[in-house]
Amino acid sequence: MAGSSLPPPDRIQQMLLGFWVSRTLFTGVELGVFDELAKGPASAEVLAYRMRLHPRALERLLNALVALGLLRLDNGRYANTLEADTYLVKDRPTYVGGPVEHMARLHWRLWEYLPDAVRENAPRVKQVFGPSFDLFQALAADPQRLRAFVQGITLTLPTAQEIVSAYDFSPHRLLLDVGGGSGALCIAAVQRYPHLRAIVLEQPLVVQVARENLEAHGVADRVSVVEGDFFRKETIPTGADVIALGWVLHDLTPHQARQVLRNCYDALQPGGAILVCEKLLDETRTAPLLTALLNLHDLVATGGEEHTATEYQQWLAEAGFTDFSVHILHGPRDLLVGWKR
């Protein structure tokens, strides 16, 4: 083939430099650039003085964030874009920096060992952090890191709002979010449907984070938090007519997933619905890109696996659910609905 007919390697070059983009975002969040600029526009010199950073080095970071569309530069002063001000400032209710912090601290290091995970078909947590490492013990000792972790592994509020927009909660009166993390789905649901009440079921370590989040959004009077374990049926509250599993099943083995679905079926009121919120693989298992990459992340980090709608429907049917519908959403989750008839 003649050299002139070869396509340029532009896509490969973009892939090659992709980690530069991630690390730039991580650094902006870690150093508090967006928080500082939320106070108002400032020059690199002023920011460097306030943040105790080197002015010339900080200017390089700020310019890269401008190039990424996260900052603006006008007359020598930097400012957050609307997107950054909405999602990357810590005291905003729409803050999504928790997942950013979580990825920077944990996922970044694990992905260095992806080749070993592929060789051995096993996650790399022990390899990276040591054989005696216990993630939840480490998190318990660091409340800020715990909050970032919970936000990183559960739904963000914008994603929860998309799910609530895709599903009609008006026939329901009580939502139970099993493994509900920060409570984002319950917050979005009760804000959109004033008649609805909700329960977040979570592990003891996480419940305080959920309660703080509910208080911050002014819905603690309509959403309660209960300690429990979705593997233990007796700890799952009964009485809900809609149960949600948001990004839970993909971390489990098929046997564990089936057990959790059976427990949810038993806890759900007759005529109620179950909402499985996962990013679905298509039937070829090669798309969409986000889910294919998430499948690799499961390999290196948790030992879990992403699945197709057909696979989830099979497990749901085995648990007793029927009448399935699938909603492909724009964000990092899709929605699969089943019913207990």
Q: What is the CATH number of the domain that holds 165?
A: 3.40.50.150
Residue ending a domain, choose from 56, 87, 118: 87
Within-domain flag for 138: no
Within-domain flag for 248: yes
Same domain for 156 and 65, yes or no, is: no
Residue ending a domain, choose from 35, 70, 87: 87
Tokens 């319950």 belong to: 186
Total domains in the chain come to 2
Same domain for 223 and 322, yes or no, is: yes
Within-domain flag for 318: yes
Within-domain flag for 96: no
Same domain for 170 and 54, yes or no, is: no
Q: Which two tokens stand for residue 5?
A: 């007919």
Per-residue pLDDT of the chain (341 residues; tens, 9 = 90+): 555 689 899 999 999 999 999 999 999 999 999 999 999 999 999 999 999 999 999 999 999 999 999 999 999 999 999 999 999 999 887 888 888 888 998 899 999 999 999 999 999 999 999 999 877 677 777 887 787 778 767 778 889 999 999 999 999 999 999 999 999 999 999 999 999 999 999 999 899 989 999 999 999 999 999 999 999 999 999 999 999 999 999 999 999 999 999 999 999 999 999 999 999 999 999 999 999 999 999 999 989 999 999 999 999 999 999 999 999 999 999 999 999 99
Same domain for 300 and 199, yes or no, is: yes
Tell me whether residue 307 is exposed, middle or buried, using C-beta atoms within 10 angstroms of its C-beta: 0 to 12, 13 to 18, 19 or more: buried
Same domain for 313 and 164, yes or no, is: yes
Same domain for 180 and 302, yes or no, is: yes
Same domain for 158 and 74, yes or no, is: no
Same domain for 171 and 280, yes or no, is: yes
pTM of the model: 0.90
Q: What is the Cα Rg of the chain in Å?
A: 22
Cis peptide before 8 (omega within 30 of 0): no
Tell me whether residue 6 is exposed, middle or buried, using C-beta atoms within 10 angstroms of its C-beta: 0 to 12, 13 to 18, 19 or more: exposed
Q: How far apart are CA 26 and CA 18, in angstroms?
A: 13
Within-domain flag for 124: no
Within-domain flag for 239: yes
The answer to whether residues 205 and 197 touch, using CB atoms and an 8 Å cutoff, is no
Q: How far apart are CA 101 and CA 30, in angstroms?
A: 7
Active-site residue, from 102, 172, 217, 250: 250
pLDDT for position 138: 74
Within-domain flag for 119: no
Within-domain flag for 251: yes
**Any idea what the Cα angle at residue 219 is, between residues 216 and 222, rounded to 5°?**
155
Residue ending a domain, choose from 87, 116, 139: 87
Give the dihedral of Cα atoms 301, 306, 311, 316; nearest 10 deg.
70
Residue 78, domain CATH: 1.10.10.10
Same domain for 162 and 311, yes or no, is: yes
Q: How far apart are CA 324 and CA 338, in angstroms?
A: 5
Same domain for 306 and 160, yes or no, is: yes
Tell me whether residue 302 is exposed, middle or buried, using C-beta atoms within 10 angstroms of its C-beta: 0 to 12, 13 to 18, 19 or more: middle
Same domain for 83 and 157, yes or no, is: no
**Is 250 annotated as catalytic?**
yes
Residue 54, domain extent:
7-87
Tell me whether residue 283 is exposed, middle or buried, using C-beta atoms within 10 angstroms of its C-beta: 0 to 12, 13 to 18, 19 or more: exposed
Where in 117-222 does DSSP place strands (E)? 174-178, 197-202
Same domain for 216 and 68, yes or no, is: no
